[in-house]
A = this chain, B = another copy of it.
Amino acid sequence: MNASTILVVDDEPQIRRVMRTTLTGKGYEVHDARSGEEALERLRERHLDLILLDINMPGMGGLAACREIRTVSDAAIIMLTVRDAEEDKIAALDAGADDYVTKPFSMPELLARIRAALRRVPTDLRETVIAGDIEIHAAERRVIVRGQAVRLTPKEFDLLLYLAGTPNVPIPHARLLQAVWGPDYGDQVEYLRTFINQLRKKLEADPAHPRHILTEPWVGYRFQTGFGQ
């Protein structure tokens, strides 16, 4: 099993140092960034499992950074809020964070929250996703629709798998593109349109009125498992 990768984003060098030594000691692979901008750069370079994000930073704040990160990554995000200002916590969760910790925090608590967040990352480590009349078998790379096996090309399958990995939640264009095509394709929305179109033709009973592969205008696409809109 590979070590989980954690990105520490904070403008104070001291905090970064403490985090790095502690987390490295616990067996995590640690990277760091001094600002939200730098964090986004790191994300383009490598995959990260979890991001520790200070809410108070010069330049783009922690909340803005969080929102930006969420459009391109599904890494778990834990925000560090300074005081127990209730509005900070709510804002953090609204911006797409998974959890928050108030500074000053105890290391054991932070470590516990990191463990909990990392366990949540593989939203679906389940082999098979079943949505109405569609079955997706991840390991076998097979899709069965209304009892019939359907041939999907690799890109089609990867896209479907990523969409279905977090069902019933809209996933932004940029995140889909990065997950399937790679970090340099964040704005090629036309690719998405073509492949979504292809998927609908192959999977939906009525491609013009899809019930599973839904578009979320201005945001992205969503894979719906249940029925009832």
Contacts and interface: CB of A to CB of B under 8 A. Distances in A.
A229 interface: yes
A184 interface: no
Interface residues of A, number: 35
- Mostly, the A contact residues are mixed
A217 B126 CA distance: 24
Nearest to A130: B109
Interface string A188-219: 00000000000000000000000000001111
Interface in A153-188: 153-154, 168-170
Contacts of A139: 120, 169
A3 interface: no
Contacts of A125: 93
A228 B113 contact: no
